[in-house]
Amino acid sequence: MLPEALPVNRTFVTQILRILSVVWHSRGRNKNRKAVTTESSCKITKHHTVCRIYNNGKESTRMKKYLVLENGMTFEGEAFGADKEAVAEIVFTTAMTGYVETLTDQSYTGQAVVQTFPLIGNYGVMYEDFESSSVAVSAYIVREYCKTPSNFRCEGDIDGFLKKYGIPGICGIDTRALTRVLREHGTMNGMIADDLSHADPEEIKAYRIVRPVDRVSRTEERIVNPDGKYSLALLDFGVKENIIRSLALRDCMVHVLPFDTTAEKIMSMNVSGLFLTNGPGDPADNVEVIANIRKLCGTGLPIMGICLGHQLLALANGFRTRKLKYGHRGTNHPVKDLKRGRTYISTQNHGYAVVGESVDRDIADELFVNVNDRTNEGLVYKKIPAFSAQFHPEACGGPTDTSFLFDDFINMMKGGAE
């Protein structure tokens, strides 16, 4: 008798297919071609230090594009995506796959994303994998993008995708050198420019992401899985769709609410729990939201927060946040679970963190810490039924090591729902 078929983990299979596609495409595109050697060089002009890459000793003849950093350093590359310029905060992610999820994650609002992995777009674009209804990034920066993606789910290439949504891109630059600059000097602003004369250093330095949550949150209530057993209010600060899916799969009826929905309104809905989502910007800017969460903390309602939601919950309880030098962004960040004594690999996307030393031990304990820099990655509260995580347990592109946190939240809600 043949054994029964084993259950298939769709996320795991998708990840394996993506990685195999990266390896296969990298081999195939260089087959029967002469070896290409690249080198980079920098020269100092009157106002800028310009870095460019040469292939086989020759400079590219395609349309040029420049990335001008606020410290005056400039990278010369080639244009792709939309034909426009943009000023943004420049950040990098170390993820090898999941670029569709990255581009549509509203936490990147106001930022230009640098991919440290050198080949992007090899498996194309799949609209089903969107984390929101629009592209969030202001610009996209890669070493090389794939013009001929190969994937049975592919619905287009990355260049056409960026053109469709009006997002400028720059390729052909030394992203490794750029990442080193950002790591050594910290996250900084920059401009994607067609001409160096268009880059105003004062304008670049003055750029700031102002109240982005107001722009990305939905304006009307949306109900997902209306027949779910556990009624849940979710405050949308820029929610990723897979957070909603993860809750719906656990039999939750999810009321996706605008970020400024009042505590009184939420309590009148007779929900079993409250979820605080991810989102963009400086958490301390959301003064009214923090005051609202403080009210909700006094209701006894079970609360779970992720990313920005984690930070806002901490601020509502009197703790502090700070901006990190260059943030945590990628799919390979180790976090230690102080309760279970285990270490997990997590997906992260944040430029701010809760200051661990500011946590009052009478109010909360640290639940997770970052293995690399010891920054706070999670809190569990003592006087209210609440906990939070800085990383993303729902990560659609993987890994899903910490997805059990959703189950912990369901168990927290069960007492009031059954």
86-122: pLDDT as tens digits: 999 999 999 999 999 999 999 999 999 999 999 999 9
Residues 52-67 pLDDT 10s: 654 445 555 579 999 9
The pLDDT score that the predictor gives to residue 395 is 85
Q: Rounded to whole angstroms, what are the CA distances from 148 to 21, 26, 31, 123, 157?
A: 12, 11, 14, 9, 7
pLDDT tens-digit profile of 17-37? Answer: 566 655 555 454 444 433 333
Q: Is the pLDDT of residue 40 over 70?
A: no
- CA distances 365 to 46, 123, 200, 218, 361, Å, are 53, 42, 46, 32, 6
Helix (H), strand (E) counts: the chain: 11, 21
- The yes-or-no verdict on residue 3 having pLDDT over 50 is no
Nearest to 278 by CA among 323, 242, 322, 254: 242
Please give the CATH architecture assigned to the domain spanning 38-206. Answer: 3-Layer(bba) Sandwich (3.50)
- Catalytic positions are 307, 392, 394
Secondary structure of residue 125 in the 3-state scheme:
coil
pLDDT digits (tens, 9 = 90+) for 145-199: 999 999 999 999 999 999 999 999 999 999 999 999 999 999 999 999 999 999 9
The residues spanned by each domain of the chain are 38-206, 212-417
Q: Which CATH number fits domain 212-417: 3.40.50.880, 3.30.1300.10, 3.40.50.300, 3.90.1210.10?
A: 3.40.50.880
Whether the predicted model's global pTM rises above the 0.85 cut:
yes
